[in-house]
A and B are shown apart, each in its own frame.
Chain A
Amino acid sequence: MPKLKIASYWASACGGCDVALLDLHERIVDVANAADIVFWPIATDFKYADVERMPDQNIDVTFFNGAVRNSENEHLAHLLRKKSKVLVAFGSCAHMGGVVGLGNLFSRKEIFDAAYTNNLSTENAGLTMPNLETKVPEGKLTLPEFYNTVKKLDQVVDVDYYLPGCPPNPNRIFEVFGAIVAGKLPPKGSVVGASEQTQCEKCERKKSEKKIPGFKRLATAQPDAETCLLEQGFLCMGVATRAGCEHRCQKSNTGCRGCYGPPPGVYDQGLKALSAIASVVDADDEATAKAMVDAIPDPARYFNRFSIAASPLHRRSV
């Protein structure tokens, strides 16, 4: 059997997804035995031009991590789609917009103001801002265009599979790679490397009928390691999040953050989690409920930490 040609690309990402690939450790050798890496900016020295020169559908599988935040991300999304037989949205940002997607709660202007002018550590008396083109004595410098709205990968190009996680669990990555090699991939459009069920299914914490008397934060309280975190009043997105991560957060005695995304059939992970948690708040009157809700400092970014760009509302209207 000829060796597979695989590629990995980071768009608007933190780099964690690429590190997760490296976290395969010795198993990366198995990957190298089965496949040639033809493009991987973080680890190998290929240029965009090398990809552009490839015939269409030359790459067997591309793992695309990161959200689409700027014109460079978008260009590479289109390019890699054209050059790849199978395109995998890899990690939470490509899958749902991820943490990068929280940018959709602001406008480009607000983000630039915060980054370049209106902050304590930046002196920018001349109000210099990123420009698409800047003339310098040596010639013209260009920058990609920073978009007002973050998109997840499938809002830009057709995506074959989704491999969730921030970052994906290396064991799941290896399993998916095995399935690719064996040609045993599920139908197009599937989420791979994750369960159909939520975190609660295999969570070892003790669960009973839920009634939350009040919300607590790790900064000021310590959960016990045995009982369902939500029942103890610690926010946990596990109820509305696919399993697959091996309960990394719950095992560290902290609530699930939701990076594996919603289970099938859920349109908006954040709304679903909010709706579920609001349903089990133990409050009979508005004042009690308000006091409890006020104990959640930033509900929009808590409940939709990874999924703003994927939600039907998509962004804050500005």
Chain B
Amino acid sequence: MSNKIGVYVCHCGTNIAGTVNIPELVEFAKAQGDVVVAREYKFMCSDPGQALIQEDIQKLGLDRVVVSACSPLMHEPTFRGACEKADLNRYLFQMANIREHCSWVHVDKGAATEKAKAQLAGAIGKARYLAPLIPKKVKVNPATLIVGGGIAGIQAAIDIADSGRKVYLVEREATIGGKMAEFDKTFPTLDCAACILTPKMVQVGQHPNIELLTYADVEEGKGFVGNFEVKVRKKTRYIDEEKCTGCGICQEKCPYKTASEFEHGMMKRKAIFMPFPQAVPKVPRIDPNTCVYFKTGKCKACVKVCEPQAIDFERKDEIVDIKVGAIIMATGYKLFDAGKIAPYGYGKYPEVYNSLEFERMVSASGPTGGDIKMKSGEKPKSVAIVHCVGSRDRRHNEHCSRVCCMYALKFAHLIKERCHEATVYNFYIDMRCFGKGYEQFYQRLLDEEVRFVRGRVASVSDFALDESEKGKLVLRVEDTMVGETRRIPVDMVVLANGLEANADAAKVGRLFNISAGKDGFYIEKHPKLAPVSTATEGVYIAGACQSPKDIPDTVAQASAAAAQVLSLMSRGEIEVEAATANIHEELCSGCRVCNTMCPYSAISFDDDKHVSRVNDALCKGCGTCVAACPSSAIFAQHFTDQQIFSEIEGVLHDVRA
């Protein structure tokens, strides 16, 4: 037990001092047992603030340090470092969070000061029983897992693989490329999406350091930073990928067709197929729901033409175990289902398209070869583009999807380019053109005489009030610039659907202990200062799985995540938490309650000695087994019962028994 505690109370400018009476708190600290010095300072985290602590440790021989300041998430490492510089073990430091937990959430200065006293007394109470611990170092596995093969995953994979380190890229679909592969042009530069994406896809496919696992799902993840173990299920393609040459003759000869998912049902594909010609890897898969062999046991047209004999109807799913040191989640987004907004008539009127359908329509390799035309084959004379479909809408998604304004402008431009005579309307709430060159693109569209109507569209219908509306789709909208409700008849409607999180984002996130917000997007460690890190060390996020974003931002984030990974890898080893669980073997009765508890598989059972053991290289100190152990044979270092009870007694210092 300590007898020389130093207490340091931080003003944090006025962040704390504005709400907590600092001198009173310092006097209170001085009156606590074992406290030999208590000081206040404007910014304890500054160099002079840290120097105060170091001086006192050396001159007064402090054996415990308590800082009453902000969240330990913010500055615990700072003060632990200060203690260590003065040769005091970092685990002999304790922090009381009187900012986030007190001054920021209270207004009554008197009550806030009393609360701060309780928090500080708790920290002093715990500090009395702190024990020094020595952090261990473990090696970092130099391989990386990237989940999701869209542009984010591709960029991160190339960045990391180019440094000479192994990357496993897992993609749910049969090809990498993601949503970007569906786009025709990119805003605001109008360069061809495929032209800039496919070379990167090919690079990934051929990279000696990238192992591509497509048509595969991550099923299980365990371990910790530097040493993750992941189970990946490679769903069967019914094709031997080693043998397949990607010649495509099977696809040509297959007699059965169904709607192409990649072309959003606007084209057909075969039962054995590649989603699109530039797919990577260039290996088809058989869709057993369409393939007649799986229904009748007959056909095998593909088998007959496959020279390398790569087709195998008996092929099963394969489980691949991989070990990596870091993980990047780049799982992307899904398009808002416009069918949820019934008044827009999506799915009811053939000439109402969602944005990805329209992307395919304008694509040179798409169903119309890039021609913008109606189902009748005629070019539309008027087109309405409806913004904010499912975005900025409390009934659906509150968030702004960030890319819709810009891709809507791109659509308007492409329509003008290909249907010179057409009148193009944009129905918008606000134009959000915030990126580099975006506002200029908006100006350009204004010059191209695209019509902008400010107002959220109420409905789309084929109900004609007069001759001019007959055979048209009529949009009803309140034009907030004019201040009245308008009816605007058009030939074609394009919906600018918002972006939302994948339906299973939260579930996939849980595999790696990262959490999703209530909108389903993954939560970053810090919105400003750690935007690609997560609360789980060694797991990073990139792209639209974190929030809707455009390609430049996605690529920047992917490279940032790659940089984080490479920084981790080049360290080669990391310090692991010393505050781990331990088992007093002489108290362990071998009841085995703890054996299935550990989320990190750190506990094993010794059959000979009849006791359980914790592998402290694997233990993360989460405390699950400590709570479960019915005989208190397992104890959590740095969170012992004695420390916690002493902390509680401190917090309750003014409560009479």
Closest chain-A Cβ to B591's Cβ sits at a distance in Å of 4
Give A208's nearest chain B residue, CB to CB: B592
Q: How far is the CA of A276 from the CA of B641 in the complex (A)?
A: 16
B424 interface residue (CB < 8 Å to A): no
Contact assessment for A200 and B589 in the assembled complex, using a CB-CB cutoff below 8 Å: yes
Given contacts A211-B596, A272-B632, A276-B628, contact A201 B641 (CB under 8 A): no
Residue in contact with A201 in the complex, picked from B590, B595, B596, B629, CB distance below 8 Å = B590
Q: How far is the CA of A221 from the CA of B605 in the complex (A)?
A: 30
B593 interface residue (CB < 8 Å to A): yes
Give A267's nearest chain B residue, CB to CB: B641
A28 interface residue (CB < 8 Å to B): no
Contact assessment for A207 and B630 in the assembled complex, using a CB-CB cutoff below 8 Å: no
Give A202's nearest chain B residue, CB to CB: B589
Q: Which residues of A contact B630 (CB under 8 A)?
A: 198, 239-240, 266, 272-273, 275-276
Q: Which residues of A contact B632 (CB under 8 A)?
A: 262-266, 272
Closest chain-B Cβ to A307's Cβ sits at a distance in Å of 13
Interface string of B410-434 (1 = CB under 8 A from A): 0000000000000000000000000
Q: How far is the CA of A211 from the CA of B596 in the complex (A)?
A: 8
Q: How far is the CA of A275 from the CA of B624 in the complex (A)?
A: 10
Interface string of A208-248 (1 = CB under 8 A from B): 11110000000000000000000000000011100100000
Closest chain-B Cβ to A155's Cβ sits at a distance in Å of 12
B245 interface residue (CB < 8 Å to A): no
Q: Which residues of A contact B592 (CB under 8 A)?
A: 207-210
Q: Which residues of A contact B589 (CB under 8 A)?
A: 197-201, 239, 243, 263
Closest chain-A Cβ to B101's Cβ sits at a distance in Å of 24
Within 8 A of B (CB), among A11-56: none
Contact assessment for B591 and A265 in the assembled complex, using a CB-CB cutoff below 8 Å: no
Interface string of B57-68 (1 = CB under 8 A from A): 000000000000
Contact assessment for A266 and B631 in the assembled complex, using a CB-CB cutoff below 8 Å: yes
Q: How far is the CA of A267 from the CA of B590 in the complex (A)?
A: 20
Q: Which residues of A contact B511 (CB under 8 A)?
A: none
Closest chain-B Cβ to A58's Cβ sits at a distance in Å of 34
Within 8 A of B (CB), among A289-316: none
Closest chain-A Cβ to B510's Cβ sits at a distance in Å of 12
Q: Which residues of B contact A264 (CB under 8 A)?
A: 587, 632
Contact assessment for A198 and B631 in the assembled complex, using a CB-CB cutoff below 8 Å: yes
Number of A-B residue pairs at CB separation under 8 A: 85
Contact assessment for B587 and A280 in the assembled complex, using a CB-CB cutoff below 8 Å: no
Interface string of A126-142 (1 = CB under 8 A from B): 00000000000000000
Q: Which residues of A contact B590 (CB under 8 A)?
A: 200-201, 207
B586 interface residue (CB < 8 Å to A): yes
Q: How far is the CA of A262 from the CA of B628 in the complex (A)?
A: 14
Residue in contact with B593 in the complex, picked from A197, A262, A279, CB distance below 8 Å = A279
Give B645's nearest chain A residue, CB to CB: A267
Within 8 A of A (CB), among B565-612: 586-597, 605, 610
A158 interface residue (CB < 8 Å to B): no
Contact assessment for A209 and B596 in the assembled complex, using a CB-CB cutoff below 8 Å: yes
Contact assessment for A279 and B628 in the assembled complex, using a CB-CB cutoff below 8 Å: yes
Q: How far is the CA of A210 from the CA of B627 in the complex (A)?
A: 15
Q: How far is the CA of A210 from the CA of B590 in the complex (A)?
A: 11
Which of A196, A209, A243 lies at the interface centre, i.e. has the most chain B CB atoms within 10 A of its CB?
Answer: A209
Give A266's nearest chain B residue, CB to CB: B632
Within 8 A of A (CB), among B608-644: 610, 624, 627-633, 635, 641
Q: How far is the CA of A97 from the CA of B555 in the complex (A)?
A: 67
Given contacts A239-B630, A275-B628, A280-B628, contact A265 B593 (CB under 8 A): no
Given contacts A240-B630, A275-B627, contact A280 B586 (CB under 8 A): no
Contact assessment for B593 and A263 in the assembled complex, using a CB-CB cutoff below 8 Å: no
Q: Which residues of A contact B627 (CB under 8 A)?
A: 275, 279
Q: How far is the CA of A198 from the CA of B590 in the complex (A)?
A: 9
Q: Which residues of A contact B633 (CB under 8 A)?
A: 263, 265
Q: Which residues of B contact A200 (CB under 8 A)?
A: 589-591
Closest chain-A Cβ to B647's Cβ sits at a distance in Å of 14
Q: How far is the CA of A207 from the CA of B627 in the complex (A)?
A: 20
Contact assessment for B631 and A279 in the assembled complex, using a CB-CB cutoff below 8 Å: no
Contact assessment for A210 and B631 in the assembled complex, using a CB-CB cutoff below 8 Å: no
Q: How far is the CA of A265 from the CA of B594 in the complex (A)?
A: 17
Q: Which residues of A contact B594 (CB under 8 A)?
A: 279
Interface string of A175-198 (1 = CB under 8 A from B): 000000000000000000000111
Residue in contact with B624 in the complex, picked from A208, A240, A277, A279, CB distance below 8 Å = A279
Contact assessment for A197 and B587 in the assembled complex, using a CB-CB cutoff below 8 Å: yes
Q: How far is the CA of A243 from the CA of B590 in the complex (A)?
A: 13
Given contacts A196-B586, A265-B641, contact A209 B595 (CB under 8 A): yes
Closest chain-A Cβ to B148's Cβ sits at a distance in Å of 26
Closest chain-B Cβ to A214's Cβ sits at a distance in Å of 16
Residue in contact with A196 in the complex, picked from B587, B591, B629, CB distance below 8 Å = B587
Q: How far is the CA of A208 from the CA of B593 in the complex (A)?
A: 9
Which of B597, B624, B629, B630 lies at the interface centre, i.e. has the most chain A CB atoms within 10 A of its CB?
Answer: B630
Q: How far is the CA of A240 from the CA of B631 in the complex (A)?
A: 5
Q: How far is the CA of A211 from the CA of B597 in the complex (A)?
A: 10
Q: How far is the CA of A198 from the CA of B631 in the complex (A)?
A: 7
Q: Which residues of A contact B628 (CB under 8 A)?
A: 275-276, 279-280
Given contacts A240-B631, A265-B632, A275-B628, contact A210 B596 (CB under 8 A): yes
Q: Which residues of B contact A277 (CB under 8 A)?
A: 593
Closest chain-B Cβ to A273's Cβ sits at a distance in Å of 6
Given contacts A207-B590, A265-B641, contact A197 B597 (CB under 8 A): no
Q: Which residues of B contact A273 (CB under 8 A)?
A: 630
Contact assessment for B631 and A280 in the assembled complex, using a CB-CB cutoff below 8 Å: no
Q: How far is the CA of A276 from the CA of B631 in the complex (A)?
A: 9
Q: How far is the CA of A145 from the CA of B593 in the complex (A)?
A: 44
Q: How far is the CA of A264 from the CA of B591 in the complex (A)?
A: 16
Closest chain-B Cβ to A148's Cβ sits at a distance in Å of 16
Residue in contact with A239 in the complex, picked from B593, B595, B635, B645, CB distance below 8 Å = B593
Closest chain-A Cβ to B228's Cβ sits at a distance in Å of 23
Q: Which residues of A contact B596 (CB under 8 A)?
A: 209-211, 280
Contact assessment for A198 and B591 in the assembled complex, using a CB-CB cutoff below 8 Å: yes
Give A201's nearest chain B residue, CB to CB: B589
Q: How far is the CA of A239 from the CA of B634 in the complex (A)?
A: 13
Q: Which residues of A contact B610 (CB under 8 A)?
A: 201
Q: Which residues of A contact B624 (CB under 8 A)?
A: 279
Which of B590, B591, B597, B629 lies at the interface centre, i.e. has the most chain A CB atoms within 10 A of its CB?
Answer: B591
Give A211's nearest chain B residue, CB to CB: B596
Contact assessment for B587 and A276 in the assembled complex, using a CB-CB cutoff below 8 Å: no
Interface string of B518-560 (1 = CB under 8 A from A): 0000000000000000000000000000000000000000000
Q: Which residues of A contact B595 (CB under 8 A)?
A: 209-210
Contact assessment for A280 and B593 in the assembled complex, using a CB-CB cutoff below 8 Å: yes
Q: How far is the CA of A275 from the CA of B630 in the complex (A)?
A: 7
Give A199's nearest chain B residue, CB to CB: B589
Q: How far is the CA of A266 from the CA of B610 in the complex (A)?
A: 21
Interface string of A245-282 (1 = CB under 8 A from B): 00000000000000000111111000011011101100
Residue in contact with B587 in the complex, picked from A209, A210, A263, CB distance below 8 Å = A263
Closest chain-A Cβ to B242's Cβ sits at a distance in Å of 38
Contact assessment for A276 and B629 in the assembled complex, using a CB-CB cutoff below 8 Å: yes
Closest chain-A Cβ to B605's Cβ sits at a distance in Å of 8
Q: How far is the CA of A276 from the CA of B597 in the complex (A)?
A: 10
Residue in contact with A276 in the complex, picked from B586, B593, B635, CB distance below 8 Å = B593
Q: Which residues of A contact B (CB under 8 A)?
A: 196-201, 207-211, 238-240, 243, 262-267, 272-273, 275-277, 279-280
Q: What would be 21 A-B contacts, judged by CB atoms less than 8 Å apart? A: A197-B586, A197-B588, A197-B631, A198-B589, A199-B589, A200-B590, A207-B590, A209-B596, A210-B591, A210-B593, A210-B595, A238-B591, A239-B630, A240-B631, A263-B632, A265-B635, A266-B631, A273-B630, A275-B630, A276-B593, A277-B593
Q: Which residues of B contact A (CB under 8 A)?
A: 586-597, 605, 610, 624, 627-633, 635, 641, 645
User: Closest 9 CB pairs between A and B?
Assistant: A279-B628, A276-B630, A240-B630, A201-B589, A200-B591, A265-B632, A239-B630, A198-B589, A200-B589
**Inter-chain pairs besides A198-B589, A266-B630, 6 sampled, C-beta below 8 Å:** A210-B595, A239-B589, A240-B631, A265-B587, A265-B631, A279-B627
